[in-house]
Structure 1
Amino acid sequence: MRYPLVAALLAFSSAFPAIADVLTIKKDAPKQYVVKKGDTLWDISGVYLDEPWQWPDLWQMNPQIANPHLIYPGDALTLIYDKDGNPRLVKNARYKKLSPEGRITPKGKNAVPTLPLELLRPYLSYEQAISAEIIADKPYILGASVNTKMNTLGHTLYVKGDLHLNEAYGVYRKGNDLVDPKTNEVLANKAELVAIVRSFRSGDVANGVPASVKVELVKQEIKPHDFLMPAMEGQMLPAYFTMKRPETALDGTIIASANEMREFSTMDIVVLNLGSDQVKPGFVLDIQRQSPEVYDGRNGPRYREDSNSLEKFMTDANELFGIESDEDSSVWHMPKEKVGELMVFKVYDNVSYALIVKNQHPIRVGDYAVIN
């Protein structure tokens, strides 16, 4: 009888419920690693893991330090395995030992971060996603103290809006629409920072008096109708990101990129049609790409672009009306395949910005950002 074997397999699987969750360490991973200047937790985890975003699991048991973000050049890390067989990175006490105060007191600005945040900072500072309605309510540039359509450093500008005296403002330019490919709905508008100004007259719109600002920093020439927001609005950056997989399924799409290129790669920034009700900063999602359809007809399997017009028409018509075809071509819808991973780092109401952390192929607008 096979029942005893089945029972034994069930007993075995219930006795080891966490086997599937054990981290897989690279075959060439070193038993000890000495932290170098410029290292990040992401870099170090990548030495040991194919999936560096899983670094919190690798650092779970670390008796030397309460916060794995506070490791420093010269610290030695040792790969060990706990009683359940899970790999862990710990600080080698024999090499360098921290005092109890050292475990809770930051050592300045040289601690190893989770990710190289300088890669994110330009995008957090220079680009935002704002609805057209909100942009329409913002103060905007009317003109300048000199008769020019493009203004630059040192110019005095006049603004339609009531500003706070002596406050710094970011001057933004409305960019492309961010459109949901499924609904064609405009989710937000890109807004690019072009300058920093400081107000020295507050203005009074009700009585037709413009506010006055002095240009303090310029990225691009400032144009009439560029709009203003407080300089720190939307610029908050967490010290580090707690990277994790979402617990619920998600199905989003890459709808734009920060560099406006057709293809992009690791450490490039993309925009998703997933908002604050679906994702949070630190969420790691898979990037998937739809495999091409195949027409299988009298002339054998061919991709859609290689099929003739009649085959495309007949197949599309059959699918539209639910007709099963024997003689004409039939279409095969292929599955999506994983081509990379990304981490969400900035979230708005309807869209979010994400950093590509891994890719096997060039990533494109239209690729999917999912958790199954």
Structure 2
Amino acid sequence: MVKPVLIFLVLFALCFAAIATADELKVREDAPERYVVKKGDTLWDISAIYLSQPWRWPQLWRMNPQIDNPHLIFPGDVLRLIYDADGRPMLVRDDRVRRLSPHTRASDTRPGAITTVPLAMIRPFLAHDQMLSQSDLEGKPYILGANSNVKNATEGHTLYARGELEPGKAYAIYRKGRPYIDPETGDNLGYAMMLVATSRAFRGGSNERNEPASLQILDVKREIRQGDIVLPALDGEALPAYFHMARPEQRIDGLIIETTSKLREFSKWDIVIINRGASDQLKPGHMLDILRPSPAVVDRGNGQPVYLEDASRYQRLASNFGHEQMQMPRERVGHLMVFKVTERASYAIVTDTYRPVRVGDHIVSP
């Protein structure tokens, strides 16, 4: 009886050791001991110098007890790679390590701190661009017309909206664009909402008394039309500069369904839309792999395999041709970070690529 128990304990110890090793933060062999932060750097870029899995950058910074916010680093700062008593790596700023005692904490309020990813790339999507479902659009205020009989209102016009608005509050005006269709199910995931203008309400309006709300136009990007949707403007000051990057706890397997650049192929820092969202428990900061299936091969066992796309018409008509298709593996072509989530779809930014990324590529969380 003792021997089986002993074997179980040994196996348990080995499994625990394997888990601990897998979770260990490993620094790249070519990582420098010191790095001077440059203008335009991001936390992702810097962490990629030190880690093969850059999304684990919080683990590289969180062990520094001398800095109130380890994310606040600036161009010109000198970073040093050190190891704690347990041999775990961490990045520190040389000036902070020298100046501060172990019991002193500091914060830095200088402007221009390095962000997780280029905030300028995603700010328009956080502040303005929307994706709304048909149910989201139901009951929303909309433009009735202007103080002149015009089809397309511009600056100088007063706008009237059906609905109840809050006087003094800023509102964005949107136009419903094309739907995003899930290629796997054919479902409508939501509509692209194009920002038309920004405005401020000065009369609230009343649905009960059938009185329209009144808006002053602040800025026009496109001509305003009857039927355009009125939504509260987001506060740009509340936009996050930092994202806690992490792998989703649950399995994710979906597709890139659109890119905002409208290009066939795209690369690092491009913005994409994926067919997974809050209903799949995705959150801002979640990191996903981008995979692409390798070209399909048909092998009839005669020593003459052929790519499916290169097959001749005769081969395609041959008996059992399609049934002999080999299931080729999917290979990683990059990573992306989710930064804005709707119920069934999300906006994400491509953080790195090994090959150009395309619409239709898979997004997965192992």
Same fold (TM over 0.5): yes
In structure 2, how many angstroms separate the alpha carbons of the residues matched to 1:307 and 1:135?
Answer: 48
- Counterpart-to-counterpart distance in 2, 1:316 and 1:169: 61
Partner of 1:290: 293
Secondary structure of the 2:257 match is strand
- Indicate if the aligned counterparts of 2:65 and 2:105 stay in contact, CA closer than 8 A: no
Q: Secondary structure at the match of 2:144?
A: strand
Please provide the CA RMSD for this pair. 3.0
SS of 1:53's equivalent? helix
The aligned runs of 1:127-206 (5 Å cut-off) are: 127-206=129-208
- 1:107 maps onto 2:109 in alignment: yes
Task: Tell me if the contact between 1:125 and 1:235 (Cα under 8 Å) persists in the aligned partners.
Answer: no
Q: Is the CA contact (8 Å cut-off) linking 1:129 and 1:190 kept in structure 2?
A: yes
Separation (CA, whole Å) in 2 of partners of 1:8 and 1:166:
69
Is the deviation greater in 218-227 or in 25-34? 25-34
Task: Find out whether 1:346 has 2:340 as its counterpart.
Answer: yes
Q: Aligned in 2, Cα 1:365/1:214: closer, same or farther, shift over 3 Å?
A: same
- CA deviation after TM superposition for structure 1 residue 71, in Å: 2.7
**Which whole-Å deviations, capped at 9, do the CAs of 1:118-147 have from their partners, x for residues lacking one?**
221011123111111221321112222233
| Alpha-carbon distance change, 145 to 332 in structure 1, aligned in 2, over 3 angstroms | same
Q: Deviations over 1:19-58 (max 9, x none)?
A: 3334443444321123344443223223323432221122
Quote the residue 2:6 is aligned against.
none
**Alignment counterpart, residue 243 of structure 1, candidates 242, 245, 249:** 245
The answer to whether the Cα contact below 8 Å between 1:75 and 1:95 also exists between their aligned partners in 2 is no
Q: What percentage of aligned pairs have identical amino acids?
A: 48
In structure 1, the partner of 2:42 is 40
**2-side partners of 1:62 and 1:96: how far apart?**
13
Give 1:370's aligned amino acid.
Answer: V
1:1-372 matches, cutoff 5 A: 18-92=20-94, 96-98=98-100, 103-232=105-234, 237-277=239-279, 278-297=281-300, 300-314=304-318, 319=323, 330-372=324-366
Deviation at 1:275, TM superposition (A): 1.5
Deviation at 1:112, TM superposition (A): 2.8
* Contact 1:64–1:90 (Cα < 8 Å) also in 2: no
Structure 1 residues 207 and 9, CA gap change in structure 2 (3 angstroms): closer
Aligned length: 356
Unaligned ranges ≥5, structure 1: 1-6, 320-329
TM-score normalised to structure 1 length:
0.85
- Conserved in 1, the CA contact under 8 Å of 2:337 and 2:349? yes
Letter matched to residue 81 of structure 2: L
- Tell me, in whole angstroms, the C-alpha distance in 1 between the residues paired with 2:307 and 2:154: 53
Distance 1:95 1:24, change over 3 A: closer
Q: Distance in 1 between matches of 2:96 and 2:129?
A: 47
The structure-2 alpha-carbon separation of the partners of 1:251 and 1:235, relative to structure 1 and needing over 3 Å to count, comes to farther
Give the partner amino acid of 1:368: H
| Deviates most, 22-31 or 100-109 | 100-109
Alpha-carbon separation, structure 1, partners of 2:32 and 2:362: 35
Distance 1:136 1:97 in 2: 58
Moved more, 202-211 or 165-174: 202-211
Paired letter, 2:115: P
Deviation at 1:245, TM superposition (A): 1.4
Task: Check whether the contact 2:316–2:322 (CA below 8 A) recurs between aligned residues.
Answer: no
Length-normalised TM-score, structure 2:
0.86
Residues 291-330 of structure 1 show CA distances to partners (whole Å, capped at 9, x for unaligned) of 22112246922222222335335567864xxxxxxxxxx2
Paired residue type of 2:287: V
Specify whether residues 20 and 101 from structure 1 end up closer, same or farther in structure 2 by C-alpha distance, changes over 3 A only: closer
| Unaligned ranges ≥5, structure 2 | 1-8
> What is the CA–CA distance in structure 2 between the aligned matches of 1:171 and 1:315, rounded to whole Å?
58
